[in-house]
Amino acid sequence: MSGASAIDVIAIGNALVDVITHEDDDFLDEFGLAKGTMHLIDEARAQSLYDAMGPGIQVSGGAAANTAVGVASFGGSAHYVGKVTDDELGEVFGEHLRSTGVGYDTPALAAGPPTGRCLILVTPDAQRTMNTFLGASVVLGPEDVDNALIARGTILFLEGYLFDPPAAQEAFRVASRMAHAAGRRVAL
């Protein structure tokens, strides 16, 4: 592999910031949310909920990013490919992910939809109600896939949740072809 060290897992997926806060049942009722469910929401709904939420924590999230963090936490090497916007939550995503030991250098969008987020409302009975705005994560395309990076990965892990947008489908196809050409494994 021409001098570059191998990476155990290259993960591609929806780059989301998990915003976790504790709320009571009245908060859920006010917003018409069924406890313990997951809702895909639009930007306006995401902003409305975010503005009403109490203090919480913000960390990198999304299935593939969480997988990469898991690999790194067990001593493996991982790199993540996912799209954020050059905004506050985009900075939170990148800084938190890198702080866990996961490589991340996908260029942020200069304009367009804001960084995706999953607003997680935890009630006193420990139920979590998730409200996900995909935002910039769905803008990931084949131009974000680096052949040299993919060739360094032992396993290319593709997050199935990202397979809907056409550009992301093409990114998956391109990355898979690159991985196979380099003799690497692909997991979906």
Does a structural domain hold residue 94?
yes
pLDDT of residue 138: 94
Residue span of the structural domain in which 21 resides: 7-187
pLDDT of residue 16: 98
Can you give the CATH number for the domain in which 155 is found? 3.40.1190.20
Summarize pLDDT for 52-67 with one digit per residue, the tens: 999 999 999 999 999 9
CA gap 145, 174 in Å, rounded = 7
Does a structural domain hold residue 113?
yes
Low-confidence ranges of the chain (pLDDT < 50): 1-2
Does a structural domain hold residue 50?
yes
pLDDT of residue 1: 42
Does a structural domain hold residue 69?
yes
Could you give the number of structural domains in the chain?
1
pLDDT of residue 68: 99
pLDDT of residue 161: 85
pLDDT of residue 3: 54
Q: Tell me the β-bridge partners of 11.
A: 80, 157
pLDDT of residue 77: 98
Does a structural domain hold residue 52?
yes
Does a structural domain hold residue 58?
yes
Does a structural domain hold residue 162?
yes
